[in-house]
Every structure is written in structure tokens, then in C-alpha cells.
Structure 1
Amino acid sequence: MKTTGRSRLLISVAALGVAGIALSGCTGGPGTNNNDNGNGGEDDGVVTVYGTIADTEAELLEQSWADWEEENDIDIKYESSKEFEAQIAVRAQGGNAPDIAIFPQPGLMADIANRDYLVPAPDAVKANVEEGWTEDWANYATVDGTLYGAPLMASVKGWIWYSPSFFADHGYEVPTDWQGLLDLTAQIQSDTDTPPWCIGFGSDAATGWPGTDWIEDIVLRQSGTDVYDKWVSNEVPFTDPAIKSAFDEFGKVALNPDYVNAGFGDTATIVTTPFGDTAGALANGDCALHHQASFFDGFITDAGAEVAEDGDIWAFLMPPFEAGGASDGAVVTGGGEIVAAFDDSESTQKVQEYLSSADWANSRVSLGGVISANKGLDPENASSNILKEAISILQDDTTTFRFDASDLMPGAVGAGTFFKGMVDWVNGTDTDTVLEQIEGGWPSE
């Protein structure tokens, strides 16, 4: 696991179903907090933090706050779980919630908040959010007008990865609109007689999520923020012509055997190819184009290639649907985590305050592999040029940013029928049927 945005790869659709069942049985009322965290509710200077961040990333997370722990005489105990989405609900209901949870999906945080298990963010966190985060980011941590937490890390999605030397050798230029990207695809295929794109949907129980990212990027660029926001809340259903159009546009690439799947086989291999394996195909030249988030630079580096404008691999953002677009700045989707608390002890509030600060953001980003949208983050602390570019985009007031739609949708849809629908669609199920099946996952009110 390299960075934020991949926390979603730990999602188990079955686990999310369990989470929904657990939540439906919650009985906590307003202000209810059953959590004693094993210490009788006393503030003993130990703060438990629970999340999905694992392995090397977890080690770097603990390193990021180590000096602060010592200076403030607070012991932060971090626990990672691949079953976070299910267990956070179970633990909250059973009175064994952590002091702090790092939620990989704002929608899941809202579910927990609506059951009155979370405590509102303290004033110090509110002040940090007002100072360091845009209104959009603050809204992702807000439920019914109450701020419950603060963003942590972030990713910028929608990058198209390519080889600068390959482009230069063939006289290719970065396209300025969606049709230009399709034209470039056709030109590369004609010149090389090989598929230009490599696409991998494989991700264990979360197989299919890279396809949702494609659809989200196209919906935002083709139909705009109003449709995107209404789609997230199901005011615009999956069966709406705007969403079908996004599938049709993606299909011009993903369903064309002349265009995919470079280095792996035909279109049928999209589902069976692990999403990370595409880095190797890109690095060795089998693949000319690939769509993935900012964290992908870590995979490429691991594959032995240098990520730089004059290096082996670089990236440009998926262009607007029409040249010039409706915005003066970049139009991007992205992901991240939200930090919220189950108790309001002094130590817990201090940890919350630190994790919402620019000081923490600079500490963690300087350790490599991740970024943050905190305005106080120095981009020069990022470990790669593409991450520096992503930070600049997030900090630019002209950027139109929208959180990953599937992470905002109810889990039964966003990590359930949407993921499965992308798999079925690539495997040949017609678009109308797929869209109806995805829409069928929305919980009935």
C-alpha cells in the first residue's frame, strides 16, 4: 500500500454489508458514547487510533507522530484492519470503539455519525479546518451541519501516465480535450499496430474499482459538478442518460480490442489483471497509456522506472471533455480519509488537533509516498515531482475538486453494485442492464 486512495482496496463488499446490518441495529441516542477503550473512560494519556492504513504506510504513519507523542506525553496506539468497514460499526455498537477512527470513506463516517456514536470536532480542530482546508474538504467531514472530523491525506485521480521519450520520438502531443485523447489513442494504435492502453481492474474483493474512477472522471468532465453532485446523492440515477454517456465514452477505449489490453491480452484480461501490475507494462514499454491516481508513481518507481517530465514515465491529467472547459483551473476527482473521534477526552482532542494541522501534514508528506490537501503543506516536502504537482492542484483556488463518487455513495452501491457492475460491463453485459443493476443497490428509504 503506497498512499491514500488505496485504502479503498481493503474494502470487502461482504464486510460493508455486515456494517450496514450492524448500523441498522444500533440503539445509541443523541450524545450516546459507550466507549471506554479498556481504560474505564479515563484519560490516561493513551489514544487508540483505528484505520485501514497498513504495512509500510502504517509504519510511516506512526513515525509521522512519534516526536509529537514524546513532546506531549501522549501514547498513540494505532491498529490497522482489513475489516475496518464492518468492525467499526460492530465495535461502536458494542462499546469498544477506538478513541479515533480514520475513515477511508466520508459516507461511512456519516453513517456512524448519524447513529450518534461520533462526537463533534472540538474548537481547535474546527479552527484548523477553517485555516487549512477548502470548504469542499470541510463538507466531506460535515454531517447535517456539524463538523465531526478533519481530512487527513489525499490523492488526485485522473492522471494519464505515459513515456515522454515515446511521445517525443513519435511527435505526439498531450491532448487538450477528450476527443483529442481518443484521437491520440487511435494514432498510437495505427503507428504501432499494438493496443495503446493497459487497464487492470483486479483488486481481490474490491475488483472493479479502477473502472469506477474512469466513470467518475468522465461524468465530472462531461456533465459538470451539478450532475456529479446529484449523481452522488442519487438525484441523478445510474440509469440517467448522463451516466450512460460516460459509460459509452469509456467504452470507446475499454471495450475496443484494438485499444486494450497492452501487455496482458485482450479486453477479457482487464478484470483479471491486478491493478498494480500495469506499472510493469508501462515501465517496460508494453503499454503507452494508463489511467490511475497520483499514488501510482510509487508502483512505477517499484517497477524500476523514473517518474519525471524528462524521465521514463510522466503523467498529464485527463483533459476536459471540451477544449477550454468550463473552469479556469483543473477539474479533478480525488480521495482521502477523514479523522473523527468517539470520545472527547483531552488527549483525544489533542491528537485530533495535531492530525488536522499543517505540522502533521508536513511531517507525514516529508516521509514520502503521500500527499495532503492542507493549504499549509509545503509541496517541496513531497517525495516526487508528480506528487508536488498534485499538491499544487489541490491547493489551487481555481481547481474544481470532487471527492471520489463511489466513496461518497452508500457502501452497498459505491463498493458493491458499482464495483460489480464495472466487472460485468467489461465482461460483456450490455450497458442498460448494468446500469439498472447498479442502481438496484441503492438502499430503499
Structure 2
Amino acid sequence: MRRSLGRALLGILLLGLGACSGTPEPAGGTLTVLASWEGAEGAAFESVLKRFEDESGIEVDYRGTRSVSQVLRSDVQKGRPPDIAVLPNPGELAQYVESGDLRPLTDVLGELPGAQWLPLQRLGTPVYYTVVVKADLKSMIWYRRGSLPGAPPRTWAELVALSGELGARGQTPWCLGMESQSTSGWPGTDWIEDILLRRSGPEVYQRFAAGELPWTSAEVRQAWQDWGQLVAAPGAARGGPDGSLLLGFGDSAKPMFTSPPGCVLDHFASSRVSGYQQYELPGRSKPTVDEFDFFPFPVREGSGNPAVEPAGVSADLAGMFTDSEAARALMRYLASERGQAVWPAEETSATFSINRNLLDQGVYRDALSVRVAERLTSGPWCFDASDMMPETMSDAFHRAVLDYLGNTGDPGELDRLLEVLDRVRVELPAEERLNLPCGR
């Protein structure tokens, strides 16, 4: 497999491929695929593409960049889009549907598994436009086994109490890092979304994600305040708010595995399974999956079991920007059970499919990953709100998180930020908003 910024012309057309068979016939040619994965994640995705290359004879030039949205936008504007792009933002992909740049998958795919995921893969239209390459479970808090003073908290009040108890013991409760190159701030948006979903419920959350709920509403304001009071309190986060602004999200939980631990709790999605196992730590081996665990994000008091209340999810969605037989073949492969099974089987992988059949095939290597996969394929869940927002809105959300965390001592800062965000919301054209129901 070549990693190249150039795009070769397609040579020989692919013939005789049944819809969604996942077994391409050799044909030849070249495709360009753009996605955000680098490092270990990028290598794992290349394993998927390599299997496709071997079976189809089609060569794939993979481009991995954390600035995938900006690169894709530039390529599309220049008239040289990749054949296939993988984005974590259905809101962005929906805008490419509106502009006519994203090609429909009519007559490309058969019926896809996971009924609750179908509206997402159709981007709110009657036809398929995307394939979920991998999914992530959110609404999770990670910890090192044996590090909690008691049972995991089930309610927000219990979580606040746990954070205070850890601080009283001289421990730093929270691992927290906001830096992520052009998308810095998104770990904070995940926090606010989880608080809103788990404390105000899926109906309020869905209105928020669709741009129907003002940012200045009591529910949204309370979610911001709750987050600030928890992680910006003195000693609550390693390095304090200013240190968190500069710390890369990928490295923020490393201190969880030092002795003694430099922080105890880590709010992050299921992709942390592989992230932890990649940590190079002085004086010890890399962490193994037996060293860490998670508990569901707490819910509002009296609302029920946090393990079965709607959870947040996100997904990486593949879309076809050039319509060719080779591009169709790769989209079919990515959607197929055969293609979906390659990535989760990779060593230290934290890739989860929405195809429940894979649970019976032993592709998940440990009990923790099985728990995540079962939750993703059974629901109920709500899709990541900022990923559904138009890029202008999600970018403003990211910036506001950084401003808020850096100015939590200013009582008027939150009011100002929420008013700015609401002005952006009101000015967005209705056609740029994506309204997807929570999955059941």
C-alpha cells in the first residue's frame, strides 16, 4: 500500500461484484482514501485496506491527517477530491450532500445491519450516503483498577463526591487535555454533551444537537456550569485549567498509570482501549487491558440505571466522492461483515463495529471490548451533538470550551460565550442543520 498525496487514474473497471459481498474480484486500478487516523490507528486501518488490495487488485493511496476536514474541503474546492473520505462529522458530510459533492450509494449497498444506525448512514435522506467504518461509545469514565475508594458512582452527586474525596486524599481526580491541533477543545464538548444528555434526557439533547434549543437555555447553561465546577476547581485536574489547555488529549491520561497515579479518572470514549495500551512509561511495561476499566457516565438523581440510560456515541463515516466501480467496491467492502471484522481483530485495537454478528465471531479480544460492542449494538444511544452540527457551529463550540476553561474565574464569561454561540446558531441556514433521532 502506498501512502501518497497524489491521485492516480483508475485503470481497469471492477466486474462481477455482488452488492455488499465483501469479496472483491481482482480488477486493478488505484483509489485515494482520506481519513483522520495516524499512528497505531492509521496502521490498523491500513490493515483493512491491505486486505481489500489483496482481494481486489485495486491499489489504495491512504492519506492520514488530523486536519481531515480542512484537507477535504480544500481538495473539493480544487476539483480534486479523494475517491473516498472518512469523517467523524455527519454534519459536514450532510453539507457535501447539499452541494452535490458526496455521491449517493444507491445500487451500491444492500440493506445494512443495525436498524438504529440507518438514519445516520442516510444522513437524514431516503438513501444511503455513508458507511459506518467504526463506532465509539461515549458516556464513559475510565479508571485504573483498584484506584477507586469504593463502588463507582451512579449519580452526578456521587461523582462530585468522589472527586472531592480523591482531592481530600491528596490525589488529583481528573486527567484532562484539550489540545488537538485544529480541533482543540473537543474533549470539553464531549463533557458538556454527556452532562446534558445524562442529566436532562434525550429529548432535550436532541433539540440541542439539531440547533432547536438556545445555548442560553437553563439546561445548556447548567451543563457548562456543572463541568466547570467539577474540573476547574483547585486541584481537580492535573496542571489546572491552564495546563489542561496545553496538554494533548492523547497523552492526558498517562499519569493514571504511574506510581503513585498522577490522576485517577479519565472521561473519554471507547477508543481509549488502544490509547492506553500504546503508552510508553518510564520504568514499566505498557499498560494492558487488565489494568483499566470504565463505569457509565452518571445520570441525574432518580433517573434509573446509568448502564441502560441513553449513552453518547460517535462514528467514523466513509463517503464516496467519485463514482467509479473501484470506489463502489471499496465502499461495499467497508460495509461488509468481512471488512468490518478486520480492524477489531488487530492487536490492542479499540475499533468497534455496529454489526452485532461480529460478537458471535470472537473478533473482540477481551471482556471489556465485548461490553463496549454489546452496548454499541443494542442501544439506546444519541449521536455526538457537536459532530452533527454544521462546521461553523462546532468550531465555535470548540473555541468556547477553551475560552471558558481558561476564564472560569470570571463570572460573566459563561454568559458572554453562550450569547455568542446562540448568535451563531440563529444565523445558520436551516438546511445546514442535521436532525437525527436518538437510536433505540
TM-score, shorter chain, exceeding 0.5: yes
CA displacement, residues 330-360 of structure 1 (integer Å, 9 cap, x when unaligned): 4211222111112332222121111011211
Matched position secondary structure for 2:52: helix
RMSD: 2.5
1:109 to 81, 93, 103: 93
What is the alpha-carbon distance in structure 1 between the residues aligned to residue 170 and residue 293 of structure 2? Answer: 23
The answer on 1:382 being equivalent to 2:371 is no
2:269 to 278, 293, 303: 293
Matched position secondary structure for 2:133: strand
Retained in 1: the 8 A contact 2:131–2:319? yes
More helix by share: 1
**196 and 89 in structure 1: CA distance in 2 versus 1, 3 angstrom threshold:** closer
**Long gaps (5+) in structure 1:** 1-36
- The residue aligned with 1:133 is 114
- The residue aligned with 2:128 is 147
What is the alpha-carbon distance in structure 2 between the residues aligned to residue 193 and residue 80 of structure 1? Answer: 41
Retained in 1: the 8 A contact 2:155–2:299? yes
1:383 to partner: Cα distance: 4.4
What is the alpha-carbon distance in structure 1 between the residues aligned to residue 307 and residue 138 of structure 2? Answer: 19
- The residue aligned with 2:254 is 280
Retained in 2: the 8 A contact 1:176–1:323? no
What is the alpha-carbon distance in structure 1 between the residues aligned to residue 146 and residue 156 of structure 2? Answer: 22
1:189 to partner: Cα distance: 2.5
1:232 to partner: Cα distance: 1.4
CA displacement, residues 54-106 of structure 1 (integer Å, 9 cap, x when unaligned): 23333322222323333333323322344431332333343322222212211
What is the alpha-carbon distance in structure 2 between the residues aligned to residue 86 and residue 288 of structure 1? Answer: 35
1:267 to 235, 241, 253: 241
- The percentage of counterpart residues that share the same residue type is 25
Matched position secondary structure for 1:376: helix
1:38 to partner: Cα distance: 5.2
- The residue aligned with 1:245 is 222
1:352 to 300, 308, 331: 331
Retained in 1: the 8 A contact 2:179–2:247? yes
The answer on 1:220 being equivalent to 2:191 is no
1:391 to 357, 373, 380: 373
- The residue aligned with 2:170 is 193
- The residue aligned with 1:51 is 35
The answer on 1:74 being equivalent to 2:52 is no
The answer on 1:209 being equivalent to 2:186 is yes
**41 and 138 in structure 1: CA distance in 2 versus 1, 3 angstrom threshold:** farther
The answer on 1:412 being equivalent to 2:392 is yes
Alignment of 1:90-109 (within 5 A): 90-109=74-93
What is the alpha-carbon distance in structure 2 between the residues aligned to residue 347 and residue 289 of structure 1? Answer: 45
**343 and 153 in structure 1: CA distance in 2 versus 1, 3 angstrom threshold:** same
What is the alpha-carbon distance in structure 1 between the residues aligned to residue 215 and residue 202 of structure 2? Answer: 16
What is the alpha-carbon distance in structure 1 between the residues aligned to residue 129 and residue 210 of structure 2? Answer: 20
> Bigger CA drift: 225-234 or 180-189?
180-189
Amino acid at match of 2:385: A
Retained in 1: the 8 A contact 2:296–2:307? no
- The residue aligned with 1:361 is 340
Matched position secondary structure for 1:321: coil
What is the alpha-carbon distance in structure 2 between the residues aligned to residue 295 and residue 435 of structure 1? Answer: 30
Matched position secondary structure for 2:179: coil
The answer on 1:157 being equivalent to 2:127 is no
TM-score (norm 2): 0.82
1:278 to partner: Cα distance: 2.5
1:153 to partner: Cα distance: 0.8
1:307 to partner: Cα distance: 4.7
Matched position secondary structure for 1:166: coil
> Bigger CA drift: 244-253 or 140-149?
140-149
CA displacement, residues 207-266 of structure 1 (integer Å, 9 cap, x when unaligned): 2111110001111111121211111121102111110111122123122114x123x3x3
What is the alpha-carbon distance in structure 1 between the residues aligned to residue 338 and residue 163 of structure 2? Answer: 43
What is the alpha-carbon distance in structure 1 between the residues aligned to residue 40 and residue 262 of structure 2? Answer: 29
Retained in 2: the 8 A contact 1:141–1:151? no
**178 and 126 in structure 1: CA distance in 2 versus 1, 3 angstrom threshold:** farther
**47 and 251 in structure 1: CA distance in 2 versus 1, 3 angstrom threshold:** same
What is the alpha-carbon distance in structure 2 between the residues aligned to residue 40 and residue 297 of structure 1? Answer: 37
Retained in 1: the 8 A contact 2:144–2:293? yes
2:354 to 344, 364, 373: 373
1:143 to partner: Cα distance: 4.0
Retained in 1: the 8 A contact 2:9–2:30? no
CA displacement, residues 356-384 of structure 1 (integer Å, 9 cap, x when unaligned): 11211111111142222222323742345
Retained in 1: the 8 A contact 2:135–2:315? yes
Retained in 1: the 8 A contact 2:299–2:306? no
1:323 to partner: Cα distance: 4.3
1:305 to partner: Cα distance: 5.5
Retained in 1: the 8 A contact 2:67–2:182? no
- Equivalent pairs counted in the alignment come to 394
TM-score (norm 1): 0.81
- The residue aligned with 1:21 is none
1:40 to partner: Cα distance: 7.6
What is the alpha-carbon distance in structure 2 between the residues aligned to residue 302 and residue 68 of structure 1? Answer: 26
**420 and 73 in structure 1: CA distance in 2 versus 1, 3 angstrom threshold:** same
